[in-house]
Amino acid sequence: MKTVYILLIAFIIPLFASNQERDLQAVFLGRFAKFIEWPQNNRDVFTITLINENPFEDLLDKLYIGKTIHGKKIKIKYVTDVKDIGLSDILFITLDDQKDVGKVIKYAQKHSILTISEQRGFAQRGGIIQLGFVMQKPYLVINYDSATKSKIKISSSLLAIAQDVIKEEAE
């Protein structure tokens, strides 16, 4: 009987090929939040916004439904223009044009939004978390200075596991 249960469990574990990097990125968006401290705000919803293309299709909506971050319900928002970002907590950026990326980063810094992107060089360009993949493993670069500029605090445990942290020597 035990064998049958084990077999059943094995069959039911549902892991077929999806785009695993995307699945991981979707999870990281929310998981990073646990290691981030935003300035106090009165919003009762935690907003994750995607600007430009949505590579996750409906994955974020399904993954975060019924979940909370910092005790708040999660809202997923999809926008294509910086004007529509509004009040967000996390901003995932897939814009190609660096001028647009620059504008969005500036907006995010002003409104204390955690910016995340997989683009190479994103952290060096002022983004806060760059989440790429190297040799089948997540590769994390954090721009600590940019976070500070955004009045966002990143816990030391997250900084410790990043492959690279951009931080002014003077600090």
Partner 1 sequence: MKEKKYLLLLIMTTISLFGASEDEIKQSENFYNKSLSELLNTETELKANVGSRNGERDLLLSEVPIDVITSEQIRQSGSSELSQILERYVAGFNFPRPSINDGTDHSRPFTLRGLNPDQVLVLINGKRLHQSSLLNMNGSVGRGTSSVDLNTIPIASIERVEILRDGAAAQYGSDAIAGVINIILKGYGHQNQITATYGQTKENDGKMGRTDLFYSIPLKYDGFFNITTEYRDRGATNRAGADRRQLYPDGDPRNDLKDPITMHYGDADTQDILFAINSEVVLDNSVILYANGIYNDRKSQAGAFFRSPRDSRNDVDIYPDGFLPMIAPKIEDYSLTIGTKDTLSYGIKLDLSYTYGFNDYHFYVKNTLNDSLGDTSPTSFDSGGTTYTQQSINLDISKKMNSFLVATGIELRNENYTIYAGEKDSYILGSHSKNAGAQGFPGFKPSNEVNANRNNAALYIDTKYNKNKNLLIGLAGRYEYYNDFGSNLDGKLSLSYKPVSKLLLRSTASTGFRAPSLSQSYYTSTTTGQEGDTLYETGTFGVNHPVAKDLGATDLKPEKSIHFSAGFILEPFSGVSFSTDYFYTTIKNRILLTDNITENVSPDVKTILNSYNIGRARYFSNAMDTRTQGVDIRLKYKYRFENHSKIKAMLAYQYNSTDITDVNTAPSILGDDGEKILLGDNTTLIEESQPNNSLKIYTQYIYGNIISKINLDRYGSYKTNWADKVYSFGATWTTDVEIEYNFKKIYSFAVGGENIFDTYPDKFEDTGSFFMSGNGVMPYSQHSPYGYNGAFYYIRLGIKF
Give the interface with partner 1 as residue ranges (CB under 8 A).
Answer: 1, 4, 7-8, 10-21, 23-24, 26-28, 30-31, 35, 57, 59, 62-63, 96-99, 120-121, 124-125, 132-141, 157-158, 161, 163
Rounded CA-CA distance 113/108 in Å is 5
Q: Which CB, 87 or 137, lies closer to partner 1? A: 137
Rounded distance between C-alpha atoms, residue 19 and residue 148, angstroms: 33
Output 57 or 84, the one with its CB closest to partner 1: 57
How far, in Å, CA of 106 to CA of 130, rounded?
Answer: 16
Q: Which residues contact 144 (CB under 8 A, 6 or more apart)?
A: 154, 159, 165, 166, 167, 171
User: Least CB distance from residue 22 to partner 1, whole Å?
Assistant: 9
Looking at the Cβ atoms of 4 and 42, the one nearer to partner 1 is 4
